[in-house]
């Protein structure tokens, strides 16, 4: 698992869980720099990605977004799938409201 210095990282591909495909997705929603992730909402980014591309993207993309946002906001570098349960709880809660 990559563990860059979040204060100095300048390339999205240096972040944990991020490869070229996710970089492309992040660019489509206006994220150009790792610092741009701070304060973002992973669910809104996913919704925007689906809107911009006209496609429904896999919900696991939300998990990756959650992981990289959490990392940039001070969390430990953990695999994206550690956020799957959080996403499922969030999405189930939203559908009950």
Instruction: For residue 69, tell me if it sits in a domain.
Output: yes
| Residue 2 domain flag | no
Domain residues for 48?
12-96
Q: Would 3 be classed as within a structural domain?
A: no
Residue 43: which pLDDT band, with cuts at 50, 70 and 90? very high
What total number of domains does the chain contain? 1
* Residue 5 belongs to a domain: no
* pLDDT over 80 at 79, yes or no: yes
Global pTM reads: 0.91
- How far is residue 34 CA from its own chain's centroid? 11
Residue 78 lies in a domain: yes
Supply the pLDDT for residue 95. Answer: 59
Asked whether residue 4 is assigned to any structural domain, the reply reads no
Q: Does a structural domain hold residue 56?
A: yes
DSSP state of 55: S
Residue 71 lies in a domain: yes
**Strands (DSSP E) found in 1-97:** none
The predicted pLDDT at position 20 comes to 96
pLDDT in tens, 50-68: 999 999 999 999 999 999 9
Long-range contacts of 58-64 (CB under 8 A, 24+ apart): 59/87, 59/91, 60/84, 61/22, 61/25, 62/87, 63/87, 64/17, 64/18, 64/22
Percentage of the residues of the chain whose pLDDT score is greater than 90: 81
């Amino acid at each position: 698992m990559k563990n860059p210095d979040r204060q100095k990282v300048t390339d999205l591909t240096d972040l944990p869980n991020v490869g070229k495909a996710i970089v492309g997705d992040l660019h489509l929603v206006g994220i150009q720099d790792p610092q741009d992730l701070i304060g973002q909402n992973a669910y809104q980014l996913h919704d925007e990605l689906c809107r911009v591309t006209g496609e429904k993207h896999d919900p696991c993309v939300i998990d990756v977004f959650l992981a990289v946002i959490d990392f940039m906001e001070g969390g430990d570098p953990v695999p994206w799938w550690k956020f799957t349960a959080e996403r499922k709880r969030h999405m189930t809660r939203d559908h009950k409201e």
